[in-house]
Amino acid sequence: MQQEIRFATFNVCNLAPAGEKLYDNLEPLSPAQYEAKAEWTARQIDLLDADVIGFQEIFSQAALRDVLSRTRHYREATLASYDASDAAGRMLPTVALVSRLPLAGAGVAWANFPAGVSVAADQHTADEQACRFARAPLYVQVLLPGGQLTDVVVVHLKSRRPDYRHGDGSDAAAYALANLRSLQRRGAEAVALRVLASELGRSGRPRIVLGDFNDIANAVTTSIVMGAGAPCEPGMEMRERLYDANAIQLRQDAARHGGYTNIHDSHYMTIDHILVSEHFHAASPRAIGVVQEVHCLNDHLLLGLPHASDHGQVLARIKLLGNVD
């Protein structure tokens, strides 16, 4: 029986077919540019060599399938994903999951917030937008070696990019308010995700939530998703929470860690995370595995490759208990 499972998250940075217009300020990829991006992405996927990979910024399932066909180890892997488009028919970014482990069924996109959760609305926020994820998380049930059913959620929360509205000025106040709108959206999505993850937790199954959180692990929004400090019944503290795999890994080595996944304005940040339930925490009496080590594949961020992602990839190695000497 397989003794180690590997989970990874990979923001591929705008994966779309050549010639597709994604944003007004972004030129479509030429055929040559797409070819370079597809080849680099395929090599990076093989380098991760993970059993389950969550992807962000997938504009086309067909493009992702093409990338997988270029890999050595994922041509037969199962893809769970969905396409999305706006009212004008322009492609929108989505998340996806690729697994070499069996899936219990098709993935489900969580488009709507749970009841009672919404973004702070203003005159520019439509009612339906206030109660929906900008990029719907994808919920998939994965069968671990030995048959343990595990809930996996791939996420991509709202970015820090200022949310300007038509007619906004360019002064300091307008910039600050635009940043606040982005934070409010990301915060509401974090609350919605926490509620949905808590509902999954009632089953007692292991949970893994991974993806681009657009904030560091200690940020309020990420802490909301993890449920850090939330009130609960005595003895239920570990059952309610999610844990940052990077923080609970057994092989902690401060001298080796270069765990950033993003560089913005010369600031090195880790905004891509793998969160796990107590089932993969060494301190839990209910653990079925332990996070051995977390790696960040980020060398490409300093090379400035035009066809590479602007995010590093995060890989968590989990040792299954009861199957090893």
Radius of gyration for the alpha carbons in the chain, expressed in angstroms and rounded: 19
C-alpha to C-alpha distance for 258 and 235, rounded to whole angstroms: 35
Q: The pTM is what?
A: 0.92
| Residues sharing a CB contact under 8 Å with residue 137, sequence separation 6 or more, in sequence order | 95, 109, 110, 153, 154, 155, 156, 193, 196, 211
CB neighbours of 101 closer than 8 A, spacing ≥ 6? 5, 51, 52, 142, 143, 144, 145
Q: Kindly give, in sequence order, each residue whose CB lies less than 8 Å from that of residue 312, ignoring residues fewer than 6 positions away.
A: 260, 261, 262, 272, 296, 297, 298, 300, 301
Q: How many separate helices (H) and strands (E) can be counted in the chain?
A: 7, 16
Q: Is 177 helix (H, G, I), strand (E, B) or coil?
A: helix
Q: What residues are paired with 8 via a beta bridge?
A: 53, 315
Q: What is the pLDDT of residue 215?
A: 95
Each residue's pLDDT tens digit in the chain (325 positions)? 789 999 999 999 999 999 999 998 899 999 999 999 999 999 999 999 999 999 999 999 999 999 999 999 999 999 999 999 998 889 999 999 999 999 999 999 999 999 889 987 665 555 667 899 999 999 999 999 999 999 999 999 998 888 887 767 678 888 898 888 889 999 999 999 999 999 999 999 999 999 999 999 999 999 999 998 777 666 677 888 999 999 999 887 654 555 678 776 666 889 999 999 999 999 999 999 999 999 999 999 888 899 999 999 999 999 999 743 3
SS3 call for 319: strand
- The pLDDT of residue 239 is 84
Q: What is the pLDDT of residue 323?
A: 47
Q: What is the pLDDT of residue 315?
A: 98
Residue found by looking up tokens 């208990």 in the block: 321
The amino acid that residue 123 corresponds to is Q
